């Protein structure tokens, strides 16, 4: 059966068809649509079909651990996140290679080269290598669909988690995908045979690590025989191209009749050493490595080929050092002339994203800016979400934004250093993701901070997913130990401006931990809910 699917949706469909029992995820561009697709599928599930767990998790670490627990029970589990989410999940992720798996466990990390919607372009393949796990990197939506099933099979046969790494253009591009008519059934519940492998006490862990090290050569052999890796000797084998993941598509785009150079397609890691050896034996004198993200393979390649072979790519300037690949950058690296094109129009100006008209974050920033201006040197630490756009015109409100939850703890650190007023601005979903622990630090240190939790009752930036703490934020703050008199709720609307400002002023003046919660539903989800109601 043929369906038009986003890469993310092809992965979701592939997992469903491979007998998935649970997907564990926190929303993050460009990975969000994987879980959303499974949620939609679940909402239409027939009464006799086995359920798939698909509720959003609080953060990527809890997601990774939940999936590991499901794998422990012998069932197939998938974890999905954006690349920086893997930093949050890293402790569980790296150690899941130590415990190994029972039911198949696949971790999907969606990298965002060119930073379309992210703060860096870290390459998740490093994590795979670091944790010594097999890594899959599909080149097309069809391959992504097929690979997920293979990843689960391999995870169960090797007893290891498998990392699937995709990038924005794979995640957010649609293509026609041929899907199976006969999906696999879910695994039955089954405890692991060797409980000790799941108890990472040093004595047991050393044995596990020895096993993991020993398995590496087997993983290389599996890469060498994988149908997803292929080597083809070219007419002119002195030059070879190594194309990883979707780079292979850009290569094919530019050489529709086939390439004169030898071509090594890589979609499964660790690197297929025998295929690289064959490429050199065929006379490769120059190897151009094309890969999305960081020069991971380019660096490793240097250790695998004789020093007389020139390895080229992002590090040597044949391809740009930063940003995603394009058919054009690959064309240039192949030494082909650019297609004839027009000059850019000189009238064009950038149109940066902005907070929606009518958004509650806008009223929050208007009030905060006015109160902060009454002080000589207020510092406002921002966080990750729509409200990061408060950094841009017209607000220019925040002085830092680093990673999930950092507003709270950076405001605390600044207060420790003597800053006053020291303010954090964090959204409700980001607060439950990684802000609560920082708030406990503030309480324990009696820090002089004002934590603004701008609550729009949703995870807005990624399209309005459920937010883990909705309806319980005050309870959470009081439970962590914030003085109830200094947990204040306001409604961010222009008509309430004077009241919001006076609440902020009072909390700026209070020497201790204050939480101010401006609360009004995201206007995007409000519109959606109104539409749904009208339908009913």
Partner 1 sequence: MKKDIILAGVGGQGILSIATVIGEAALAEGLFIKQAEVHGMSQRGGDVQSNLRISSQEIASDLIPVGGADIIVSLEPMEALRYLPYLKKEGWIVTSSVPFVNIDNYPDIEALREHLDRLPNRVVLDVEQLAREAGAPVQSANMVLLGAAVPMLDIEYEKIEAGVRRIFQRKGEEVTAKNIAALRAGYDNSKK
The residues of the shown chain that bind partner 1, judged by CB under 8 A, are 2, 4, 6, 29-30, 32-33, 116-117, 169-170, 172-176, 246, 249-253, 256, 326-328, 331, 338-345, 347-356, 386, 388-389, 393, 461-463
Task: State the Cα–Cα distance between residues 15 and 23, nearest whole angstrom.
Answer: 9
CB of 124 to partner 1, least distance (A): 17
Task: Report the Cα–Cα distance between both ends of the chain, in Å, rounded.
Answer: 33
3-state secondary structure of 109: strand
User: Which lies closer to partner 1 via its Cβ, residue 421 or residue 492?
Assistant: 492
User: Which lies closer to partner 1 via its Cβ, residue 40 or residue 176?
Assistant: 176
CB of 168 to partner 1, least distance (A): 9
CB of 358 to partner 1, least distance (A): 12
Closest of 104, 121, 140 to residue 22, by C-alpha? 104
User: Which lies closer to partner 1 via its Cβ, residue 159 or residue 331?
Assistant: 331
User: Which lies closer to partner 1 via its Cβ, residue 81 or residue 450?
Assistant: 81
CB of 351 to partner 1, least distance (A): 4
3-state secondary structure of 516: strand
- Kind plus residue range of the DSSP H or E element containing 429: helix 428-430
CB of 419 to partner 1, least distance (A): 28
User: Which lies closer to partner 1 via its Cβ, residue 214 or residue 345?
Assistant: 345
How many residues comprise the chain?
536
Task: State the Cα–Cα distance between residues 71 and 92, nearest whole angstrom.
Answer: 13
User: Which lies closer to partner 1 via its Cβ, residue 249 or residue 448?
Assistant: 249
CB of 275 to partner 1, least distance (A): 21
Q: Write b or e for each residue in 257-278: b if 16 or more Cβ atoms lie within 10 A of its Cβ, otherwise e.
A: eebebbbbbbbbbbbbeebbeb
Q: How many CB atoms lie within 10 A of CB 507?
A: 23
CB of 156 to partner 1, least distance (A): 31
CB of 256 to partner 1, least distance (A): 7
Burial of 392 (0-12, 13-18, 19+ CB in 10 A): middle
User: Which lies closer to partner 1 via its Cβ, residue 120 or residue 437?
Assistant: 120
Paired tokens of 187 = 């695994």
Q: Write b or e for each residue in 171-210: b if 16 or more Cβ atoms lie within 10 A of its Cβ, otherwise e.
A: bbbebebebeeebeebbeeeebeeeebbeeeeebbeebee
CB of 356 to partner 1, least distance (A): 7
Task: State the Cα–Cα distance between residues 232 and 265, nearest whole angstrom.
Answer: 9
Bridge partner residues of 111 (DSSP): 167
User: Which lies closer to partner 1 via its Cβ, residue 327 or residue 512?
Assistant: 327
3-state secondary structure of 242: strand
In the Cβ-directed half-sphere of 74, how many Cα atoms lie within 13 Å? 10
User: Which lies closer to partner 1 via its Cβ, residue 186 or residue 459?
Assistant: 459
Q: How many CB atoms lie within 10 A of CB 322?
A: 12
């Amino acid at each position: 059966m043929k369906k038009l699917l986003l890469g993310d949706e092809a992965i979701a469909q592939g997992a469903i068809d491979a007998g998935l029992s649970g997907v564990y995820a926190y929303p993050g561009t460009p990975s969000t649509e994987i879980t959303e697709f499974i949620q939609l599928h679940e909402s239409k599930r027939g009464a006799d079909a086995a359920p798939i767990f698909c509720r959003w998790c609080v953060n990527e670490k809890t997601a990774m651990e939940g999936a590991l627990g499901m794998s422990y029970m012998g069932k197939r589990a998938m974890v999905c996140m954006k690349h920086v989410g893997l930093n949050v999940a890293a402790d569980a992720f790296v150690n899941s290679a130590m415990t190994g798996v029972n039911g198949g466990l696949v971790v999907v990390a969606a990298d965002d080269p060119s930073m379309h919607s992210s703060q860096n372009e870290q390459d998740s393949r490093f994590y795979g290598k670091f944790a010594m796990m097999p890594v899959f990197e599909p080149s097309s939506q069809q391959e992504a669909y097929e690979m997920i099933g293979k990843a689960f099979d391999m995870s169960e046969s090797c007893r290891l988690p498998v990392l699937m790494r995709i990038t924005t253009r794979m995640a957010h591009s649609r293509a026609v995908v041929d899907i199976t008519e006969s999906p696999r059934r879910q695994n039955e519940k089954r405890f692991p045979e060797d409980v000790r492998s799941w108890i990472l006490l040093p004595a047991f862990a050393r044995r596990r690590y020895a096993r993991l090290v020993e398995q590496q050569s087997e993983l290389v052999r599996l890469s060498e025989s994988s149908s997803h890796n292929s080597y083809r000797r070219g007419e002119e084998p002195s030059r070879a191209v190594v194309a990883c993941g979707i780079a292979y598509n850009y290569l094919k785009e530019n050489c529709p009749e086939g390439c004169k150079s030898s071509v090594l397609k890589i979609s499964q890691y660790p690197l297929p050493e025998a295929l690289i050896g064959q490429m050199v034996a065929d006379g490769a004198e120059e190897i151009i490595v094309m890969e999305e993200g960081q020069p991971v393979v380019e660096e490793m390649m240097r250790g695998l080929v004789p020093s007389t072979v020139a390895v080229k790519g992002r590090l040597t300037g044949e391809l740009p050092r930063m940003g995603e690949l394009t058919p054009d950058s690959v064309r240039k690296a192949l030494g082909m002339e650019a297609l004839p094109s027009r000059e850019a129009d000189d009238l064009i100006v950038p149109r940066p994203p902005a907070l929606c008209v009518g958004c509650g974050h806008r009223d929050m920033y208007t009030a905060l800016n006015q109160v902060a201006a009454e002080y000589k040197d207020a510092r406002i630490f921002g966080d990750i979400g729509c409200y990061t756009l408060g950094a841009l015109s017209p607000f220019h409100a925040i002085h830092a934004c680093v990673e999930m939850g950092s507003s709270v703890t950076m405001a605390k650190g600044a207060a420790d250093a003597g800053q006053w007023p020291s303010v954090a601005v964090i959204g409700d979903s980001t607060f439950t993701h990684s802000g609560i622990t920082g708030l406990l630090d503030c309480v324990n240190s009696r820090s002089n901070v004002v934590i603004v939790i701008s609550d729009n009752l949703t995870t807005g930036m990624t399209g309005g997913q459920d937010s883990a703490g909705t309806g319980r934020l005050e309870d959470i703050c009081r439970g962590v130990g914030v003085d109830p008199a200094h947990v204040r709720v306001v409604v961010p609307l222009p008509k309430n401006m004077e009241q919001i400002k006076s609440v902020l002023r009072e909390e700026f003046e209070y020497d201790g931990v204050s939480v101010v919660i401006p609360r009004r539903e995201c206007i995007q989800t409000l519109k959606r809910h109104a539409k749904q109601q009208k339908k009913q």
